[in-house]
């Protein structure tokens, strides 16, 4: 169980960290996503910062377990919001969203199981 906890936490941190970087550097893909969801572009650094905070919080959870659990919960909420944004504009291309959401839920579940809630 400890191995799954570490692997999923690190994997989720890497995934969200890469996504945060693309938002923060202004890559074309997140610009297209923000435009498709009809969100203002000034949200890009905010979204990137939230993803970066979640990514770093997951790793900090190895030292401060509560912080990791809160970061995982925050990422789950972030991706619930992303789902709402997709559905609001009628987007059904949810494969990428599902990868991030499932990894965040798994990280949360493993943090809760490992740290005792």
> What's the chain's length in residues?
117
- CB contact burial 36-45 (16+ within 10 A = b; e otherwise): ebebeeeebe
The pTM score is: 0.94
Span between the terminal Cα atoms of the chain, in Å: 15
pLDDT in tens for each of the 117 residues of the chain? 899 999 999 999 999 999 999 999 989 999 999 999 999 999 999 999 999 999 999 999 999 999 999 999 999 999 999 999 999 999 888 999 999 999 999 999 999 999 875
* Maximum separation of any 2 CA atoms in the chain, in Å: 42
* Rounded-to-integer distance, Cα 14 and Cα 47, Å: 16
């Amino acid at each position: 169980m400890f191995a799954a906890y570490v692997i999923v936490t690190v994997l989720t941190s890497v995934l969200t960290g890469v996504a945060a970087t693309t938002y923060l550097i202004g890559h074309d893909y997140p610009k297209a996503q923000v435009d498709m969801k009809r969100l203002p572009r000034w949200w890009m650094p905010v979204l990137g910062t939230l993803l970066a905070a979640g990514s770093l919080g997951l790793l900090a959870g190895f030292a401060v377990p509560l912080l990791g659990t809160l970061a995982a919960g925050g990422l789950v909420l972030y991706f619930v919001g992303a789902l709402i944004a997709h559905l609001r504009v009628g987007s059904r291309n949810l494969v990428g969203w599902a990868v991030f959401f499932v990894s965040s839920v798994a990280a949360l579940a493993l943090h809760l199981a490992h740290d005792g809630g």
